Structure formats: C-alpha cells, structure tokens
Amino acid sequence: MVEPRERLAFTLAQLAEGGNGLRSVVEWFALAPHLGTEIAVSSEEVTALGKISPSRWVESETAGIEPAVLYALIEKELVLAEGSAAAARDERLRDTHWHPASATMHYTSRWRNVDTEAAEREYAEVLRGDFLPCLGSPPSLVRERTAADRRRRLPAPEASMLDLLLGRRVTCRNFSRTCALTQAEFSAVLYRSYGARAVDEFAPGITLQKKGVPSAGGLHATEAYLLVQRVDGVAPGLYHYHPVDHALEPIRALDANEAAKLARRFVAAQGYFADAHVLVVPASRFRRNFWKYRNHAKAYRALILDVGHLSQTMYLAATELGLAAFVTAAINEADIEEAFGLDPLEEGALAVSGFGRRAAERGEVEFDPLHAVWPAAG
C-alpha cells in the first residue's frame, strides 16, 4: 500500500518571491509487509506500481514501464523478480492468507529498540508537567445519551467472590526483586490462563482445545512464550509453554543479568514492568487463525480480542493467588521475535503481559482507588 505524506521545506526562491520561504512537499511511501518496513518511492514509481499485476507474473519487456523506473522498484523489492528472495518472502505472506490491510497495519506498527522511558522524559519536558494546556480537556468520562431523570436504575448485585477478586485486580508497577514465585504459583497461573482443559476432535482431521478463555473459531491460535526471571526450580531463560502437555519447552538459558536486560528491551524500557517475575508474550500463530479465516477483514481483530481474553484471565488467576499482574502494548515486537526465533509473517507478539509477587513498598504509582492493594494514606 502507498501513503502520501506532507512536509514543509524551506526555499530561498519562495522567500524571494515574497512568501515565508516554506513550501509544501508531498512524499510517497510504500508500506510493504513482506519487507516489514516502509520504502520511500517517487510519484513515477507509484504510477508504475499501478500498472503491474499483483497476482501474475509478467515479462519485464511487456510491463509498459520505463526501464529505469522498473529496475529501481526491483532494487527496492517492491516489484519482484521471479526466483528472488523477496519473491519467496512475498509468497510466504500470501500463503499465510493475511488480509492486506491487516498485514499493513500489523507490520507498520511493530517497534524495534524503542525506549519509552526516554520518550516520556522528552514528553515531560514539552508539557512541563501540565497536560491540559497542551492536550486540551479530555472527552467526558461517560457519554450520556439521556438526562439523569430518564435513566433506568438497575438493582445492585449481591456481593460475590468474583466481586472481591475483581476489586483486588490492580495493575502492578511494583514487583518484588527479592522474593521468587513458587513453582506451584507459576504453574497455576499458566494453566488457568493458557492451559488446555480438554482436547477434542471436532471433525475428522480438525482437533480443537477447550481452554478457560474464548477464542475465534475455537482455534486458540495465540500461545505463550515466557521470559522467566524469578521462579523457584525454574532456571532463568526463554521458554515456550505447551498448553496440552502443561509443560515448558526450553528455548534459551539466561543468567539473571541477561534476563533483566532482555525483559527491559521487551517492554520498551518500562522498568516497572521489566521487574516482573515472569513475562508472558501472547504470540499469535497467524497461519492457524487465517487457515480458517482466509484474507478475512475481521481475522486480525479477532486475534487482538484473543489476547485481551488471555491477559484478563491471567490477571484474575494471579489475583486469586495474591499475586500481581500487568499487560502492555508498548513493546518492541521485532526484538521479541528475534529473541524467540519467530517469523513475524507466521507468528508474532501482540502484547506483553506478566505476573509475580508485589513488592512490600510502593515506589511507582498504581491506580488503586478502592485501596484493595495499598491502604489509604492516614
């Protein structure tokens, strides 16, 4: 897909003619999922791309494109030469049955080596500690469609164990660096959020898992990759969780320092999340989901919903055991994929979640208006 972008350029000629010296320049960029990046292109190259079939091979001599423009596009791997590595990559993308708009969105929103802590410092310097003058007032807390006297009040539910659990569900930004999780705690949270309760042959040749969360088409295409830091009896390192066998598959051993550095990179330098005892990467197997929902406009959205179900269930499983959890979308996807050896055309991270033991003292602010975790100030 191609996108026009506008920037302002300073020219002396425009200033000499009585203007302010600023000229609007439109630039084109090709958003290329098979390359995992965006490529600057000229307007002539954009026009040429519109002349070439996206689905069948054509002879270069009959393409009707100026040779210089054609070879520039081949060099940029936006026009594919038969038998090239880029053509093989493109074929893999097509064979996975991505919807084109979803593939473009996914690949252009992935991060590599982003440091949110540094960005936050720059943002704070611009805002000087005051959001409202710069951002304006936020939208109303609730969109109210009727006057208060027209609202129909509903009966309050009787308090239940679920209410108590939901009340204690607070995103953690203060994980203990000194206490480890027990293996039983670690096992319970993984099983309740990602483990298979049953395996059933739904139809001849089609086997499905029953888990504690819903999933599009019952496919459960999202699985857990783990960065373990502090769990009794489990060495620090990278693992894949096998949901049917309820077992860890070791990928790479790490020492404590390596694990801490990698955790920080995974969550884009959000230090309060990097301290979690276990980081869980919900990685979606695109090929499994798109096997059923081929080139489907809703398939990618369904995977995002799956990640939401998994992260909330993990929150509740951790909270029930007196543990703490988090989830964030501010992650370095490309770094995570490289660490676990994932091909992002077929399997990729959509978030990072984690759980562990909350620290005894609160160093970072946590949103706990019910004071279910942290007592109210005296």
Judge contact between 194 and 313, C-beta under 8 A.
Answer: no
Q: Which class for 358: exposed (0-12), middle (13-18), buried (19 or more C-beta within 10 A)?
A: buried
pLDDT tens-digit readout, 30-57: 999 989 889 999 999 999 999 988 889 9
Assigned token pair, 265: 């990179």
Report the C-alpha dihedral over residues 354, 360, 365, 371, rounded to 10 degrees.
100
Q: Which residues, including other chains, have CB under 8 Å from residue 201's CB and lie 6 or more apart?
A: 207, 208
pLDDT for position 347: 95
**Residue 3 carries which DSSP code?**
E
Rounded distance between C-alpha atoms, residue 359 and residue 271, angstroms: 14
- The strand pair at 222-228 and 247-253 is best described as unpaired
Residue by residue, DSSP assigns 248-304 as: EEEEEE--HHHHHHHHHHHTTT-HHHHT-SEEEEEEEEHHHHHHHSTT-TTHHHHHH
Instruction: Supply the Cα-derived Rg of the chain in whole angstroms.
Output: 25
pLDDT for position 10: 73
Whether residue 378 has pLDDT greater than 60: no
Architecture of domain 164-356: 3-Layer(aba) Sandwich (3.40)
Assigned token pair, 358: 């909350």
Q: Structural domain boundaries of the chain?
A: 2-95, 164-356
Higher local confidence (pLDDT), 45 or 19:
45
Rounded (to 5) percent helix, strand, coil in the chain: 35, 25, 40
Rounded distance between C-alpha atoms, residue 248 and residue 96, angstroms: 27
| Residue the block writes with tokens 């097509």 | 94
Measured over the CA atoms of residue 133, residue 139, residue 140 and residue 141, the dihedral's sign is negative
Least confident among 2-11, 108-117, 123-132, 197-206: 123-132
Give the predicted TM-score (pTM) of the model: 0.90
Assigned token pair, 115: 């440091």
Give me the chain's average pLDDT, please.
93
> What are the strands of the beta sheet with 2-10, ordered from one edge?
2-10, 22-32, 37-41
pLDDT for position 66: 93
Helices 333-340 and 256-266, packing angle to 10 deg: 140
Assigned token pair, 135: 């951002």
pLDDT tens-digit readout, 182-198: 999 999 999 999 999 99
- What is the phi-psi region of residue 119: left when phi exceeds 0, alpha when psi lies from -120 to 50, beta otherwise? alpha
pLDDT tens-digit readout, 238-291: 999 999 999 999 999 999 999 999 999 999 999 999 999 999 999 999 999 999
Whether residue 1 has pLDDT greater than 60: yes
| Residue the block writes with tokens 């100030």 | 377
Confidence of residue 18 (pLDDT cuts 50, 70, 90): confident
Confidence of residue 14 (pLDDT cuts 50, 70, 90): low
Rounded distance between C-alpha atoms, residue 212 and residue 194, angstroms: 8
